Structures are given as C-alpha cells and as structure tokens.
Amino acid sequence: MIPVQGFEHQAVAVLGLGRSGLSAAHALRAGGATPVGWDDNPRARERALDEGIEIRDLTRAGAFDDVTCLVVSPGIPHLYPGPNPVVAAAWAAGVPVDNDIGLFFRSFAAGFDAYDSPPRVIAVTGSNGKSTTAALIHHLLHEAGRDSELAGNIGRGVLDIEMPGEGGAVVLELSSYQTDLARALTPDIAVFTNLTPDHLDRHGGMGGYFAAKRRLFAEGGPDRAIIGVDEIEGQYLANQIAMGPGDDRLIRVSAARKLVGPGWQVYARKGFLTEWRKGRQVASIDLRGVAGLPGAHNHQNACAAYAVLRAMGVAPKVIEQGLHSYPGLPHRSQRVAEAGGVAYVNDSKATNVDSALKALLAFERVRWICGGLEKEGGLDGLAPGLGHVVKAYVIGREAAGFAMQLPGVEAEVCTTMAQAVAAAMAEAEPGDVVLLAPAAASFDQYDNFEQRGEDFIACVMAGLRDG
C-alpha cells in the first residue's frame, strides 16, 4: 500500500466506495487521515463499514464542515454532462476535489531516500490500446529483470500496490476520467497511444476529451514523452512538447508510416518495428511472428512499449525476446483456440467502431461476431474493414438494426452469443478466423465486456468439445 501523505489528523471525504474508493480510504487511513465515505449503493456502504470505514451522508447540509478534501471515484461525473451533487457541494464549501491518481502522485516519492535508483512511474493514456500497451510494458520490464507494478485502470488500485524495488517501475494505465481530475500528475515517462471518439458526453465533446488526455503531458511535465502520431491530435501534442527537431525527450511512434529525421522515432511497417534515432536506424524487429500482438493496431502498441523500454536503457535484443513471450490480455485480440485450421479470437474489449475496425484489419478472412448496445456515431467507420468479413453474425437486442448498417456484408441475425458461435463454427473453413469484435457496448445483454468475452469462450469450447 502507498500511504497518502499530507492529510494527517484531517478528515477526507471519499465519494464512491468501489475498488478505487475503498483503496483510497485505506491508504488515507494508513497515512494518518480520517476517511469518511459515501456511496449511493447501500451494499457498498455496508462493505465499507465492515472494513472499518466511517460512513457519512455527503448529500446532507454541513457534511463538508470539517473536510479538507473530497476524493472522487472515476465513474462519478464532476463536470459534464453535469457535476454530481456531492461534487457541487464540495465546490460550494471550497473543498478541493481530487482522485486516487492525484493522491498517488502526491505521495509516491515519500521514502525515496532509501533508494540509490528510485522507482520510475510510467503512465499510459489514449483511446485504444492503452491496456495492452501498459500490460506489455509491465511484461517486458519483468522479462528484462526489472521490478514492476501494474495499476490504475488495469490491475490493482493505484494505492494498493507495493513500492517496487531498486530501479523498478510503476506502470499506470490512465483513462480520461482519471487524468481529467487528478490534481497531481508527475510521471517520469508518459505515453499517448491515439485518439478516437469516446466518452464524449463525459467530456463535453472531442475537445474536452483530448484536453483530459493532454493534461498528462502539459501539466505532468514527464522527463520523456512517447506520442503516437497517426492522428492529428498526436501530431499536435508532439509538436507542443518538442523544443526542436532533434529533441530526444520526445519519441514519436507510428504504425502507419515511416518516421525519419534527426529525432527519436519508433515505427512499424509491413510487420517490422524499426527504431530510428539521430538520422540512422538503430534496431529492427520482425513482429509478424509475435502471436500475442496480431495486427497493425497491436504493432502500434508494441512500438510504444518498445520506446518505453529503450527510454529506460533496455537493449533491443532483450525487448525482442520479451515481445515473443507476451501472452496477450484477456478479451483483447485473445486467441482462445484453434482447430481444423480455424482460429477463434476474443476481442470483446472492441466496444467502439475504431477498435473493432482494427481487429477486422488484423485478419484476412473473418467470420465476425458483432453487435450489442450501439454507441453514438453509427457504424460508417467500419467500412475499410468490411472487405475482410466473410460473414457477420449479429448479436444483441437490436441485432436486426445493426445488421442493416453493414452494406455489402452477408449478415445473419443471431441475437444470442450461443447462436452466433454455433453458426460461425458450422460454416467456418480452414484459414478463417471466428472473431468476436462487437463494435458496441455489452450492457444490453451482459454486465460488462469481460462477461461477454467469457461467454464467447465458453460457447467456443463447448462447440469444439461437442463437435
């Protein structure tokens, strides 16, 4: 645990008593503060009470009279589409609002005097690929013999981790919800993967969404920034950071084009990763045989992770070995089975059009299981990948309407996962990939994307067993 510093003998309110809220409450108490928690869910309040956390109704008048700070969990709106009433009450009382990420950064350096080489913080943000990139960095560090902790939007709560050992690292996946509110953001290395429309209601549009991501760099002041430049937002951000063409505090990353010049670049083309620095090629790695990272979108993730390891002084050959041993993340381009020349891939995390498109482009012949709770913007963005689709098997309560938005694609309305998997397995031929990449949220049929992915895996395994 990372004890929170700076609130000794003070009351700190915690709004939202899920994973991050409970973690913050315990870390505050470990640092000498008195946490008082509130959650609209009675069961969450009961659990917090069982764990010794004082419960206080933060909606009542006077609730903030003795409170020094309010810590808000990521899922609770603090600005758009409107502030939570408790957040608004804190503003009115003049009480600063923060989150667990801000508490972590204000507290992490305590005790660094015991280290000759203090641990470094690597923060990864972006729209797509940040989970894979963070997990891959964590994996590569371990393979290189470095102590590493993985936390934030993936793995453990950021305040639950143990301090890494000498020369180690903390790898944080940070969502826009987390970067938007944190009052302290001071990573040693910061990574921006890409930007595509998502969470727009929460940020008041694309400008607010990008601004939330940009805070990690503009206000965080990392020693080194690794920026994906395949979208204009990344190009803009890279230009703002660099002090000149040869400024190697910035590493540009691309999976769409060759990057050359006097600076430091890492790019992937035709399945090969290339490091280019000071006007010459430094290293090259063939990514085509890396089973855990299929497709150009994962090659971008590999480039970003490679850049982080190089920034930490790890040799290219060591990184290459680690890439080949990376197993992949559950529900993200996860190869779950292969039989009769047919591969079965679970990308349930592809909940938006952009991530689903990247999954489609990773394979030549796709029997595509898609559908669910459609997000804003429609499905037009899938068009470049539809030529890879042999047939679509559409699930979800609005399956028929979803299928009608796939021009030129043979589509079967299956509604349920079991029906879709059975139909795809019956028709698949050697060389096909049965791919779950829904391009939609899961909440019409499942509690979350993980549950949807597990259902896909269970249906595939049952079909292979019974077949």
Binding residue numbers for ATP: 126-132
Q: Name the β-bridge partners of 124.
A: 173, 191
Both tokens assigned to 21:
């809220």
Helical packing angle, 206-218 and 232-241, nearest 10°:
30
Contacts of 240 by beta carbon, 8 Å cutoff, 6+ apart: 217, 218
From 308, 312, 306, 300, select the one nearest 284 (Cα to Cα).
Answer: 306
d(CA 304, CA 175) in angstroms, rounded, equals 17
DSSP assignment of 240-301: HH-SSTT-TTEEEEESSS---SSSEEEEEETTEEEEEETTEEEEEEE-TT-TTS-HHHHHHH
d(CA 165, CA 130) in angstroms, rounded, equals 24
Helix (H/G/I), strand (E/B), else coil: 58: coil
d(CA 329, CA 346) in angstroms, rounded, equals 10
Alpha-carbon Rg for the chain, nearest whole angstrom, is: 23
With residue 97 as reference, give the H or E element that holds it. strand 97-98
Residues annotated in the binding site, as ranges? 126-132
| Contact status, residue 335 vs residue 460, Cβ threshold 8 Å | no
The label of the residue with tokens 């921006």 reads 192
Count how many Cα atoms sit within 13 Å of the Cα of residue 97 in the half-sphere of its side chain: 23
> What is the bridge-based pairing of β-strands 334-339 and 342-346?
antiparallel
From 300, 171, 294, select the one nearest 231 (Cα to Cα).
Answer: 300
